[in-house]
A and B are shown apart, each in its own frame.
Chain A
Amino acid sequence: MTGPQTGPRIGVVTFPGTLDDIDAARAVRYTGAEPVALWHADADLRDVEAVVVPGGFSYGDYLRAGAIAAQAPVMRVVVEQARSPHRRLPVLGICNGFQILCEAGLLPGALVRNAELRFICRDQWLRVENTSSVWSTRYEPGAEILIPMKNAEGRYVADDAVMDELEGEGRVLFRYVTEGPQRGATNPNGALRDIAGICSADGRIAALMPHPEHAIDAFTGPSDDGMGIFLSALDAITTGDLAGAR
């Protein structure tokens, strides 16, 4: 990485077929943190304090979206350090990253083909349901944010027991806004209970299908609403409060 950086180091993973790594790195950089490139084949997290698993088509979505990437050397270390009660590594999965975290068992449920069976790219309204996770403290409760989504397999599903557990523990992080006059205010893909993003019980491991890294300035995105996610993590790392505001 070039240039002096004083902020915390946040890793961005690149698999063969990862597409949105430079976008995720840019978002990290916009917060003042230092993006650190993590290579899929290296079981080395290079002393980062959080990891972003970005979007794309890792390994061409062969076998099943995210299935192969979930077994990559770098992901085994991410899983180990995310689960370690001592390390408590914060992890964010975006789009294909969400699929990978589900495949890796860090988050429950699965992402299946969109209800209309098509790739959908559009600006999507989301409601922030949980503002105490490591990745969402910067938002006001119930805030509605405009974030691009783009996927063919973004429909979140899980069995009723898992759904009830997520709801009961406040682990639904973002929901698709389904009412209101704005464009992009419908459930785009048939996701159960309009779920767009979820997190772990302690709010440290989070994932969403829409792309906050594409909403970091209004010049290239529909808004800068996505910055809140990255700034929230920066706050948590800086204050050492990796259980969020709970």
Chain B
Amino acid sequence: MSAVDPHHRPGAEELLDVTDPVGAVSLIDQADHHLAPGVAPASVQDTVHRAAATPHQAQPYRELGLKDDEYARIKEILGRRPTDAELAMYSVMWSEHCSYKSSKVHLRYFGETTTEAMQATMLAGIGENAGVVDIGDGWAVTFKVESHNHPSFVEPYQGAATGVGGIVRDILAMGARPVAVMDQLRFGPADAPDSQRVVPGVVAGVGGYGNSLGLPNIGGEVVFDASYAGNPLVNAACIGVLRSADLHTAHASGTGNKVVLYGSRTGLDGIGGVSVLASDTFSGSESASGSTARRKLPSVQVGDPFAEKVLIECTLEAFAAGLVVGIQDLGGAGLSCATSELASAGDGGMHVTLDAVPTRAEGMTAAEILSSESQERMCAVVIPDKVDDFLAVCARWEVEAAVIGEVTDTGRLVITHHGETVLDVPPRTVAHEGPVYERPLARPDSQDALIADTTASLARPQTGELRELILRMIASPNLCSRGWVTDQYDRYVRGNTVLAQPADAGIIRVPSSSAASGAAVVEGVDAKDDATTVRGIAMATDCNARYTMLDPYAGAQLALAEAYRNVVSTGGVPTAVTNCLNFGNPEDPAVMWQFSQAVRGLADGCALLGIPVTGGNVSLYNQTAGVNILPTPVVGVLGVFDDVTRRILPGIGHEDGETLLLLGETRDELDGSEWANVVHGHLGGVPPRVDLDAERKLGEILIAGSRDGMISAAHDLSEGGLVQAAVEMCLAGETGARLVLPADTGLDAFTQLFSESTGRVLVAVPRTEELRFTEMCSARQQPWVKIGIVDAGNPAGPHLEIQDVATFGLGELREAWEGTLPALFG
């Protein structure tokens, strides 16, 4: 490149040529980019043959995270010591992240509690990339939440961005078109100095990747708590839609079928996940590139959403043309994971030639190629006759692709590099037969003291102090508007967003083109008229980790109850559940107790509600300096609409004089509440009572009410209680209301306004429907109380009046509610 004239102005042809980050030029022919097979590298490669000949060579297995007995087991499986490449593959696949070795024994409980009736709608469940549920008319939905916590603390922007990228590829690998994303974020205190680094970075990363990818962000959570200060939680969710018949799962069947690696090139980035790969004791890493230190790149990978966008379109086009037998995304553990999982889920073995893998760096070792977590890559199994067509689709989208191997009937995963065999293993021992731990668990002694420390001793405000308290509460970091976050996310792209933040659940109209129409995908433009399609899906995710700290079993059920209530508040029918279980150090028996309790609570709750858990994700070791995060089992509920035009919105004001009804029972339940947190910095006592039968009944009423057009607005009550819901409904609808708190409840105004009793929803019903709706509630023993009216005609402008408590102009409420995050983060 030294001959380049610095004054040369590139012409159009050259400009087009620089569009090469995904390999726009000479995509397929990579012959001169790496060493030809058979050419030995500068140093000696650790082959299977060499491993057998040098049984006593010391290996850095402990540095790679393997225990003595795990290393011994690998030797037993192989009948010799592992090669460097094998050691790299086993160590990463047997890591907590990939093998679920601490959580597996508990996660089995989800399967044990899933009844046949619950399974009826499941097309694919736990164990696949993402669960798939049938939503009728031949349509299916796949959805999943995944964590990217630790990278997002190290490098907030890229950690969050690649978190979105990874979950989207999981959904794509099911054969679905990704249609929406959500994000569940938890940070340290909003005013902590480090939040200035982490919060804007994570939000920009989620937005920067998702926006560029063209997926609407339809909701999520933002929670601040001191326990996340050194360990933020960045969970990302994706929803995909497919024709049931097009379901693709990760498997490699059919001897002779070709394995194609496509997408971005494989580089040295992301190897930090197994960082000691670059350690000096690791043989084979001294190559022509120089010292090991120089080779080490940042362990957080850098995302390229453009590469992912073309990868999506390319993959969907290949699906639509029937070119794919099996498919697997490359996420954590890269090719190690993809090859071992594809092979072990198929019916035989696999042979892979690493020399065929397009790389970004010269002289990468086999272990490095296998362990690289370079982003935006997929692996497809293609029958030989279709390989040319598949490569042509990749070329059309300017996606680099290479045939790296084929399916065999040997029952072994065999990998060669420079013409030598560097890996020869039974694939199931890597992917599925890793270690399983029954870690000790124990309810901590401190739990009793925590429960005994209730809010009964905390000073409660007088009625005269409520006005000021209401303004303080709606402006507090966990209750204020999330607009500063969500306004950085595209919620409109693809034109099917029915409801996004601020709302109870995100709603997407099911687009009729999706992955189904080959013609539409090839054309690049949705060809079918989706105006006729009214089917829709809703998704909500929730978790109150404070409740879960007080009672992990109930806390997981409360998370389920709230996500369920969010979905039914829009009129959606809850259909399936996913989760992302974020916990502390599994080697702490108290954490394993929290984990096991939460899993049992969630599974038992799903069985009660009759909706299956279709998948999930576990993130452990979320701790800072020995202090664990609050247990945070994020629960996602998917809802379905036969007719999404019947959805219920949260904003009031469709017509003047609507009646406001509070459904459900209010009790004095302030332990673990946001009030206790904001005013007293207190966490103790017993969380609100969870009653899943009541939640289900409430859901049936809301769904019936939406189908029959009896409800004009609805919003669930959760953190912050009744007053929070009322304020949000007024602001969403830019319409005022008058509330009259019932006098006969035995609860004072403060408790009625701020209690966090569950199973409650505030609904607005047109006057003409009031009698029919309340009679339906009474007939079904649903507790309800008339609590106010919508007031659209106040001559002084829209106000929220809470009789005998306070009156607010909506401008005053909006200023308090919306001002907090911009004031903190600019």
Contact = CB atoms under 8 A, between A and B. Distances in A.
A142 interface: no
A72 B826 CA distance: 38
Contacts of B523: 1, 37
A125 to B, nearest CB: 14
A25 B525 contact: yes
Interface stretch (A53-61, A172-180, A192-200, A233-241): A53-61
Interface in A8-22: 12, 14, 16-22
Contacts of A59: 19, 306
B522 to A, nearest CB: 9
B497 A119 contact: no
A113 interface: no
A138 interface: no
A18 B524 CA distance: 9
B12 A71 contact: yes
A211 to B, nearest CB: 7
What is the interface residue range for chain A against chain B? 35 or more
A35 B527 CA distance: 8
Interface residues on B, range: 35 or more
A23 B214 CA distance: 11
Contacts, number: 134
Interface stretch (B204-212, B337-345, B615-623, B713-721): B204-212
A190 B214 CA distance: 25
Interface string A122-160: 100000000000000000000000001010100000000
B496 A60 contact: no
A22 B19 contact: no
- Most B Cβ at <10 Å: residue of A22, A29, A56, A118: A22
B412 interface: no
B822 to A, nearest CB: 10
Interface string B491-518: 1111111100000000001010100000
A220 B207 contact: no
A220 B509 CA distance: 9
Contact of B16 (A14, A68, A183, A216): A68
B492 A211 contact: yes
A16 B20 CA distance: 12
A106 to B, nearest CB: 15
A220 B497 contact: yes
A171 interface: no
A170 interface: no
Nearest to A11: B525
B221 to A, nearest CB: 18
Contacts of B304: 60
B521 to A, nearest CB: 10
Contacts of A120: 487-488
B525 A12 contact: yes
A18 B309 CA distance: 9
Contacts of B826: 116
A90 B734 CA distance: 40
Contact of B526 (A19, A26, A67): A26
A187 B416 CA distance: 60
Contacts of B213: 19
Given A21-B524, A29-B529, A56-B214, A119 B207 contact: yes
Contacts of A3: 529
Name the residue in B513, B524, B530, B531 with the highest tally of chain A Cβ atoms < 10 Å from its Cβ: B524
Contact of B306 (A16, A23, A37, A221): A16
Contact of A62 (B306, B310, B497, B498): B306
Contact of B211 (A21, A30, A148, A150): A150
A225 interface: no
Contact of A72 (B16, B525, B645): B16
A148 B509 CA distance: 18
Contact of A220 (B313, B490, B496): B496
Contacts of B511: 22
Contacts of B100: none
Contacts of A161: none
A2 interface: yes
A122 B501 CA distance: 12
A57 B305 contact: yes
B492 A35 contact: no
Contact of B530 (A26, A68, A213): A26
A213 B214 CA distance: 15
Given A23-B495, A121-B490, A221-B492, A60 B306 contact: yes
Contacts of A17: 212, 306, 309-310
24 contacts: A1-B527, A16-B306, A16-B398, A17-B309, A19-B213, A19-B494, A22-B525, A26-B531, A35-B525, A56-B214, A57-B211, A57-B305, A60-B307, A62-B18, A63-B15, A68-B18, A118-B488, A119-B488, A121-B491, A122-B487, A213-B495, A216-B495, A220-B496, A220-B509
Question: What are the 5 closest A-B residue pairs judged by CB atoms, nearest first?
Answer: A60-B306, A19-B214, A14-B524, A22-B526, A71-B12
Interface of B: 12, 15-16, 18-19, 21, 204, 207-208, 211-214, 304-307, 309-310, 313, 397-398, 486-498, 509, 511, 513, 519, 523-531, 645, 734, 826
Given A16-B398, A119-B489, 13 more contacts: A2-B527, A16-B310, A17-B310, A21-B524, A22-B513, A22-B526, A23-B494, A25-B525, A29-B529, A68-B16, A68-B19, A118-B204, A219-B509
